Amino acid sequence: MQQQQNDVQVWALRVPGVSASSLDLSALDAEERRRMDVFVRDVDRVRYGFAHAALRTVLAALTGSAPELLRFARASCPCCGGPHGRPVLASSTLEFSLSYSQDLVLIGAASDPIGVDVEPVPQLEVAEQLAKALHPAECEEVEAALPEDRPAVFARLWARKEAYLKGLGTGLGRDAAADDVRGDLPGWCLTDLPVDGGYAAALAVGSPMPSTVRVHRALPGDRAGASLRRRSSHE
């Protein structure tokens, strides 16, 4: 598998309902393992481990490198110039983004700067409270929706905003009220992504022209859904 110019690929993956010891995490580096071990709950370790192993599997397929040999760095922060901008590959110009929430993992890859985000649809009270931090026009859109629709409206806007800010490399270091993400932004195309019910997801690509977006539901070479799971002696 190779990444073509202006070709945007997205993987929407379910976190398997297994223990962390059942996952094949051999490609993770020492820092990823350290971060994974910080989690107290096994479900959180599984989510982190699966997401980062899946990211390595995707990037390895696109770059032709071995998953365990991939090395990551940080681009400069647009806000302060420090070395904590969006994550990048140390030996490739391929751009990527990773997001995960509950049991859904989202991975995006493109030749242009990219951000992806997936968010669970919150309760009404949470949506109404957090909407106050949005751009005034976005806040008005949430408030104008019927009460039963407000959580989904908010989740859609928040996913678009997070995807854009991740693509920029600022994260929430940039004021959430600064940009109206209901449509495209200068130099950026924003797209809602189809995901399972109860979630909202979005893609932001740093290109003024729309790109072809392909959404995958399984990892490269994983037709049986078994990648990243250790084989037991009985299989």
Residue 116's SS3 state is strand
The CATH number of the domain holding residue 18 is 3.90.470.20
Give me the count of residues in the chain: 235
**Residue 2 placed within a domain:** no
Strands 7-14 and 212-216, by their bridges, are parallel
**Residue 89 placed within a domain:** yes
Domain with 175, as residue range(s), is 7-216
Tokens 């989740």: give the residue.
155
**Residue 28 placed within a domain:** yes
Sheet holding 189-193, edge to edge: 114-120, 199-205, 189-193
Region at 173 (left for phi over 0; alpha for psi -120 to 50; beta for the rest): alpha
**Residue 226 placed within a domain:** no
**Per-residue model confidence as pLDDT tens for the chain (235 residues):** 656 566 899 999 999 999 999 999 999 999 999 999 999 999 999 999 999 999 999 999 999 999 999 999 998 888 887 777 889 999 899 999 999 999 999 999 999 999 999 999 999 999 999 999 999 999 999 999 999 999 999 999 999 999 999 999 998 889 999 999 999 999 999 999 999 899 999 999 999 887 789 999 999 987 544 567 664 433 3
Question: What is the four-CA torsion angle of 133, 138, 143, 144, rounded to 10 degrees?
Answer: 180
The pTM of this model reads 0.92
**Residue 227 placed within a domain:** no
Tally of domains within the chain: 1
**Residue 224 placed within a domain:** no
Beta-strand ranges (E) seen in the chain are 7-14, 72-74, 87-89, 95-101, 104-110, 114-120, 189-193, 199-205, 212-216
Region at 233 (left for phi over 0; alpha for psi -120 to 50; beta for the rest): alpha
57 contacts 219 by C-beta, under 8 angstroms:
yes
**Residue 62 placed within a domain:** yes
**Residue 234 placed within a domain:** no
Give CA–CA dist 126/143, Å, rounded: 13
